[in-house]
Amino acid sequence: MRISDTVASYILHILDESGGNAEIKRNELADLLGCVPSQINYVLTSRFTPEQGYIVESRRGGGGYIRITRIHTDRNSALMHIINSIGKELDMKDARLILENLLNVGAISKDCAVLMNRAVAQRNFAGLTKKQADSVRAAIFKNMLLTQLQNSVK
């Protein structure tokens, strides 16, 4: 298991044990897990993002800490949050992260996640520049999420 997986698993364990809120000290966690503090930063910035359903706050200094909060929302609120957070462009990496999070929290079904992933896959945008592909992907992704939201309201 890679150290980043170990750090993420440990943080998830803390979040599960504490009901979705955790406060950690970067240096203490790094010492405990046998890594450098920058590896903790990497895991926080890559695996605990708003798109993945987390809020991370940091305070530096002697009494510094990192507070991680798992966002708890109902399905419709989660979908609206994601729709509103997607800008004019969406790259494939972020699309996958969003789908994984929505699937994990039960906001969409596995079939829906697979369908959406295939609809916004990079191969569908051959011949477009990255900026064009990311723009079209964002529009398709938002519309698919809006459809999910509308279907749940009916």
The helix/strand/coil state of 106 is: coil
Average pLDDT estimate for 69-73: 79
Which helix (DSSP H) or strand (DSSP E) does residue 10 occupy? helix 3-17
Question: Which of 9-18, 70-79, 102-111, 125-134 shows the lowest mean pLDDT across its residues?
Answer: 70-79
The model's confidence at residue 95, banded by pLDDT at 50, 70 and 90, is very high
- For residue 38, give the CATH number of its domain: 3.30.56.130
Domain boundary pick from 46, 70, 94: 70
Domain boundary pick from 70, 92, 119: 70
Burial call 68-77: b when 16+ CB within 10 Å, e when fewer? bbbeeeeeee
pLDDT of residue 85: 83
Number of domains, the chain: 2
Phi and psi based region of residue 127 (left: phi greater than 0; alpha: psi -120 to 50; beta: remaining): left
80 and 42 fall within a common domain: no
pLDDT of residue 63: 60
pLDDT of residue 62: 64
12 and 66 fall within a common domain: yes
61 and 112 fall within a common domain: no
Domain boundary pick from 12, 45, 70: 70
Q: Does pTM surpass 0.85?
A: no
- With pLDDT > 70 as the criterion, what percentage of the chain qualifies? 94
Closest CA to 13 of 26, 24, 2: 24
Residues in the chain: 154
- Determine the structural domain holding residue 56 and report its residue range: 3-70
13 and 51 fall within a common domain: yes
- Tokens 């992704």 found at: 141
Q: Under a CB-based contact definition with an 8 Å cutoff, are residues 51 and 104 in contact?
A: no
